[in-house]
Amino acid sequence: MSYESQILEEDIDMNQKKQEKFKIEISEKRISRRIKLSRISRYIFSLSLVFAILVLVILLYRIGVDSIGWLNVNFLTGKLSIFPERAGIFSVILGSVYLTLIVIPVTLILGVSTAVYLEEYASNGKIKRIINTNISNLASVPSVIFGLLGLTVFSRMMNLGSSILAGGLTLSLLVLPIIVVSSQEAIRAVPGFLKEASLAMGATKWTTIKKVVLPVALPGILTGSILSISRAIGETAPLVVLGIPTLILTTPNSIFDDFTALPIQIYYWTLDTVLTPEYANLAAATIVVLLGVLFLMNSAAIIIRNKFQKKF
Amino acid sequence: MSEAVKNMSDYKNDLAFDVKDLNLWYGKNQALKNIDLQIERNKVTAIIGPSGCGKSTFIKTLNRMIENIPIVKTEGEIIYDGKDIFNKSVRVEELRTKVGMVFQKPNPFPKSIYENVVYGPKIHGIKDKGLLMEITESSLKGAALWEEVKDRLNDNAYGLSGGQQQRLCIARALAVQPEIILMDEPTSALDPIATYKIEELIDELKKDYTIVIVTHSMQQAARISDKTAFFLMGELIEFDNTKKVFSNPRDKRTEDYVTGRFG
């Protein structure tokens, strides 16, 4: 109804404009000025891209130069050590991998389920609006605060200490609101006429969600999830608050063991450069590894996403 | 079954829907007022009227799709298969399996042609591949689309033209073996040739199905329907044989509308 009346109003507006009968004069000068402006705007926009790329290139260059000679097989497979030339980050990489393995299932299952409930089941009303606003607000809470939450709930109350599980759950909390919001948007973007088509054939709501809504929304859900999970893997502050140890000489064997992760190690080594200048090179080499890990994760996720996109 | 009951059910069998004193509100706005209407089996019933007269609302009430809008409230009865469809014992999933629907805009799933047709049968539990293929063929033949797509069943449905997509949607509806097909302005998004094909198809389909069609086009209603109902401002103004409605309407308002004086 309201849609139709809106169209009607637009029609009326158009008619009124026609009745005014203004004449459009084609002047050579005006047109060439407009074309020029259009061209310039293209350069302005591409300039902002150049800025972003420039910063990235400088960063990669600096780190690359610093890590030369330090990033080798021994560094990747060795154990941590206080002596720079003997230090290796195998256990650190392992720590980050364990974290990812906790964060991905926890956030995807909880986040997507929450989004499905809010978009498909919850009735529109005040409560839903309040919840939605709060989730959006949570998404912008600084990560240190999530670290404190993790310290209180997981480390202290649940007695998980500074284990991988405590770290993983804390990072999951950090990512969850972002995944909920982006999944909600992806689900909301599924056209209503597809859901109608399914319901009109006698499908139940759940069948419709499972067979139409989620498959159509999946690429969008994955895009949001990939970005936010990558953020979590590079996050330092919450882990610092949890009290992740500086130096760990054993490799973690289960999710209840203490651990250290790539961003944490970068942070500690950078802090200690004052004492041992070579730590700067170790930090640089670790950054290269972290970027590599993130790059791999993102590519894997993009491949998965494209596969689903084609399938549906 | 006793003789009397059998006779009763035979008599009932002539009717697809018996709508009794149906009222419907969107929040506080009443969209349908005291509708009484008998829709006969194996006939094409057209519903005409100006925009906002409640004709789409009415057709969506017949398979209770209207209930997807949360603020809708209904009163009255629609008897289908001997039962009031608003009765608590009637499951919408079951009703919608028997009463299929084709929408205004072609709305195939973004999947292959084959997957579109077997969507319904699959959700109703058919897994056998041979059987699914049989259903696909008979449904697509039923929708007069088989010849055009038989060599590319695995192509995405979005590659079809608008008219083909709409016939695919009809095939998809046929695949769950409904008794009744509701069509909500099925040709309003199509060009004249595609429209002609769908109209031809409707004529073919009425041998096996009961069809209720909402249409904006009076010519279409006159061409394809056996019965015509004229709605205005949520009221059923006139319901009779199509010929009668268009040549010799009882009500002045019907006459004004079908002769193009308003609407």
Choose between B10 and B108: higher pLDDT. B108
CA distance A305 to B188: 36
How high is the pLDDT of residue A4? 46
Confidence of residue A275 (pLDDT cuts 50, 70, 90): confident
Measured on CA atoms in the order B58, B61, B65, B70, is the torsion positive or negative?
positive
CA distance A176 to A143: 12
> In chain B, what residues touch A3 (CB-CB under 8 Å)?
none
Task: Give the helix/strand (H/E) hosting B181.
Answer: strand B180-184
Q: Of the given ranges (A18-27, A108-117, A229-238, B143-152), which has the lowest mean pLDDT?
A: A18-27
How many Cα atoms sit within 13 Å of A312 on the Cβ side? 19
What backbone torsions phi and psi does residue B127 show, to the nearest 5 degrees? Answer: -115, -25
CB-based burial, A180-198: b 16+ in 10 Å, e otherwise: bbbbbebbeebeeebbbbb
The shortest CB-CB distance from A201 to any of B26, B51, B100 is to B100
How far CA B214 is from CA of A212, B48, B101, B259, in Å, comes to 27, 6, 11, 18
Confidence of residue A3 (pLDDT cuts 50, 70, 90): very low
Torsion of CA B44, B45, B48, B54, to 10 degrees: -130
How high is the pLDDT of residue B126? 92
> In chain A, what residues touch B70 (CB-CB under 8 Å)?
123-124
The shortest CB-CB distance from A200 to any of B100, B108, B111 is to B100
3-state secondary structure of A89: coil
What backbone torsions phi and psi does residue B16 show, to the nearest 5 degrees? Answer: -85, -50
Enter the tokens of residue B61: 């009430």
Contact B176 A201 (CB under 8 A): yes
Q: Of the given ranges (A50-59, A191-200, A239-248, B81-90), which has the lowest mean pLDDT?
A: A239-248
Distance from CA of B244 to the nearest CA of A (A): 31
Distance from CA of B70 to the nearest CA of A (A): 8
Contact A201 B95 (CB under 8 A): no
Confidence of residue B3 (pLDDT cuts 50, 70, 90): low
Distance from CA of B240 to the nearest CA of A (A): 28
List beta partners, residue B83.
Answer: B80
Is the pTM value of this prediction over 0.90?
Answer: no
Q: DSSP of A274-304, one letter per residue?
A: GT-TTHHHHHHHHHHHHHHHHHHHHHHHHHH
Overall size of chain A counted in residues: 312
List beta partners, residue B24.
Answer: B32, B74
How high is the pLDDT of residue A243? 80
3-state secondary structure of B236: strand
Encode A157-214 in three state secondary structure. HCCCCCEHHHHHHHHHHHHHHHHHHHHHHHHHCCCHHHHHHHHCCCCCHHHHHHHHHH
How many Cα atoms sit within 13 Å of B35 on the Cβ side? 37
Distance from CA of A194 to the nearest CA of B (A): 6
The answer to whether the CB of B102 falls within 8 A of the CB of B166 is: yes
The answer to whether the CB of A228 falls within 8 A of the CB of A172 is: no
Mean of pLDDT values over A280-301: 87
Per-residue pLDDT reduced to its tens digit, A179-224: 999 999 999 999 999 999 999 999 999 999 999 999 999 888 988 8
Choose between A244 and B143: higher pLDDT. B143
Mean of pLDDT values over B223-235: 93
The shortest CB-CB distance from B70 to any of A123, A191, A201 is to A123
Of B109, B22, B1, give the one whose Cα is nearest residue A203: B109
Q: Is the pLDDT of residue A161 over 90?
A: no
Enter the tokens of residue A287: 């950054």
Per-residue pLDDT reduced to its tens digit, B46-58: 999 998 899 999 9
Q: Residues near A28 by Cβ (< 8 Å), separated by ≥ 6? A: none
List beta partners, residue B241.
Answer: B227
How far CA B213 is from CA of B36, B52, B102, B188, B222, in Å, comes to 17, 16, 9, 12, 12
Whole-number mean pLDDT of chain A?
A: 85
The answer to whether the CB of A150 falls within 8 A of the CB of A140 is: no
Enter the tokens of residue A149: 């939450």
List beta partners, residue B156.
Answer: B112
Mean of pLDDT values over A285-293: 90
> In chain B, what residues touch A198 (CB-CB under 8 Å)?
109, 119, 123
Distance from CA of B118 to the nearest CA of A (A): 11
Confidence of residue A92 (pLDDT cuts 50, 70, 90): confident
How high is the pLDDT of residue A173? 92
3-state secondary structure of A39: helix
CA distance B132 to A260: 54
How high is the pLDDT of residue B232? 92
List beta partners, residue B44.
Answer: B211
Q: Report the range out of A77-86, A119-128, A297-306 with the highest average pLDDT.
A: A119-128
How high is the pLDDT of residue A172? 93
> In chain A, what residues touch B80 (CB-CB under 8 Å)?
none
Torsion of CA A102, A105, A110, A112, to 10 degrees: 140
Of B21, B35, B18, give the one whose Cα is nearest residue B80: B18
Contact A193 B105 (CB under 8 A): yes
What backbone torsions phi and psi does residue B40 show, to the nearest 5 degrees? Answer: -85, 150
CA distance A121 to A68: 55
ipTM: 0.88
Question: Which architecture does CATH list for A73-308?
Answer: Orthogonal Bundle (1.10)
Mean of pLDDT values over A62-86: 81
> In chain A, what residues touch B100 (CB-CB under 8 Å)?
200-201
List beta partners, residue B211.
Answer: B44, B181
Mean of pLDDT values over A133-160: 90
CA distance A50 to A73: 35
Enter the tokens of residue A151: 């310290």
Whole-number mean pLDDT of chain B?
A: 90
Enter the tokens of residue A11: 């029609």
Question: Nearest chain B Cα to A213, which residue?
Answer: B109
